[in-house]
A and B are shown apart, each in its own frame.
Chain A
Amino acid sequence: MNSSKISPPIVAAVRSPRWRSQVERFVERLEASPPVHWKLGFDSVVSFAIAHPSSVLIAELPDSFAEAPIESLKLVSSLCNNPQQCPLFLLGDESTEPWRDILTEAGATATCCSILDFERVCLQIDRHLENHAISDLSVEDAVAARLPW
């Protein structure tokens, strides 16, 4: 409770253990200790973003993305069009690479096609959390943000 600034939350919709462990480890090494909210689908990410400005959205693209990209692009658009304009980081695999530009055009802040891409994106997320640290939180928010579970 002593820290005057609290980092905005990260909301993550990540299914695969590979990406989940990467996101978890990234959050662990963040000095800002942002609260992380794990969601199951894109829809709940959007609802969360509406209520929490400045939060960071991390979403894993569906496995079928490369086969049916149009369907997924619709979902991505819904994430990108969140009214709070929260930064959106998409996680995929090498098959996502050719779609990177299109996803950026659709509104994704960055798309990670590999672990190394994610390493680079981590710096971006870190900066965002630092720049958007909140100091005038309500007591409830401050308590909620500090709750460990």
Chain B
Amino acid sequence: MAKTRKINNALTRILDQSSSIVYMISDELKLCYANEACAAWTGVDLETLVGTNLIYTTEPLDDATENAAKGLAITPNLIATPQAIDSFPVEIFSYAKPQTKTRSASASAIYDHRGVLSGYLVVGSSKDGSLQEVNVRESIDLPAKLHNALALVRQQHQKRFDLKQLVGSSAESDRVRRQMQSATDSEGDVLIIGPEGSGREHLARTVFTSQFSSSQFSSNQFSSNQFSDSPATPESEIETQLVPLHCSITDPAQIQSTMKVLLKDRDRKATLLLIDVDKMDAGSQQEILGYLQLPGLSARMIATSSTKLIDVESDFDQALASRLSTLTIELPPLAQRREDLPLLAQAILESKNDRQAKQFSGFSRQAIEMICEYDWPGNFGQLASTIEEAAASATGSIIEVADFSETFQHSIKAQRFAAKDETRIQMDDYLLEIESQLIDRAVTQAKGNKTKAAELLGISRAKLLRRLAVFKKANDDSQTELVDESVFEEEVTDE
């Protein structure tokens, strides 16, 4: 017994003093042992670290210890089939500031005397790598590749904002991120335009909350509404206790009371969040504009809309539209940032891992292909609900094509066989265009000589001049100008 204890102590000492990261994960995916090197890697003290749930995600977690330890989680699909693979290479991450680091490691399944899986022993290499160096075998392990790519994107772009819908590296995402940066750096009015479900409200709230100090109003208070463009939320109520004053208006009835508060204390710096401003009736638009034009009253406006407000055909009050559109951010529909879809899908799936015991690695290649093929008319909201639905019916840790609902699969088929719009032409106008072009070419060929041009066309000079007059008249009519027929009359009389 004493000898066993001595061996155990010696073993613990060796592991604790090792410069390599060594840790053990229980079959319930909890960290049941970690050495000092592992604690240093995560930036959390050993006592706190051991016993933490390991959540497979790149998303920032609310629990600080879980957030630090998440980089130790093993891709769920690798541990789902321990009988098939007893020992496998993994990548582990350190999300400690300032930069995300990675190391390659080796994981081995451990079984008890009955052959039942009891956990995993992970031993990391001693050398750090950078995220860019992570070399995942793409054809074999797409989920791990997407997980790593997501970690890299989060490291590169999301230091300041947690913009769930803007995960991705497409040119469109980069543009929106740059505009977001300008919006938060400036104090000018911002208008965010995007189709339904594109996350325009989420983006507006991010700009809105970026002005608050964390002690007053944390952005987490908006988390319940991050995935949709749903109207009125509790935080939309006027928060008069806050200095400066910030409020969001989703209901015309709120306008008057909000403006009264602003009028009462004009020195307070104010920001108004106007959700779906394009749906506001003409009376409410006039009311807001009237208040904003009052001397001494100044407020920053952050508005969302599904359409452009400055438009000659728009019914929206153009004076208010100009005021709101100081900085306009246009959110592209998902169909225009298709290359972001794999990362976006992975991000949505990983965000589920935080909320449930069952952990998902990602998607099969075919499933990702299907996601990329679809146009997602409902944008982010539709993508999120479709993935959540697939995750709910999935049996494994990788989402397969069969896990998606039949409705979604039918939608893809319907898209493939979509009815085409009929192209119609006006034959008379069409032929007129062709005739006009033939005459133009002939006149050019004849270097402006009408007689020669008429010869080339096989018509009389008089006919050519008549046709030229017709084309000129049509052209002038289109420009709503009067025709000076005298020029042509003169030419005809010359003949």
Contacts and interface: CB of A to CB of B under 8 A. Distances in A.
Nearest to A22: B373
A24 B375 CA distance: 13
Contacts, number: 48
A116 B417 CA distance: 20
Interface in B416-457: 416-418, 420, 423, 425, 433-434, 436-438, 441
A119 B434 contact: no
Contacts of B338: 115-116, 119
Interface residues of B, number: 25
Contacts of A20: 416
Interface in B333-356: 338-339, 341-342
B439 to A, nearest CB: 11
Contact of A139 (B342, B366, B441): B441
Given A115-B338, A139-B441, A1 B369 contact: no
Pick the most buried of A1, A2, A17, A142: most chain B CB atoms within 10 A of its CB: A1
A114 B369 contact: yes
Contacts of A148: 423, 425
Interface residues of A, number: 20
Contacts of B423: 148-149
A20 B413 CA distance: 12
A139 B416 contact: no
Pick the most buried of A24, A114, A115: most chain B CB atoms within 10 A of its CB: A115
A108 B328 CA distance: 42
B437 A142 contact: yes
A149 B422 CA distance: 10
Given A97-B139, A139-B441, A17 B416 contact: yes
A94 B417 CA distance: 23
B425 A115 contact: no
Contacts of B339: 116, 119-120
A1 B365 contact: no
A143 interface: yes
A103 B372 CA distance: 24
> Which 6 pairs between the two chains have the least Cβ-Cβ distance?
A1-B433, A148-B423, A17-B416, A115-B372, A21-B416, A1-B437
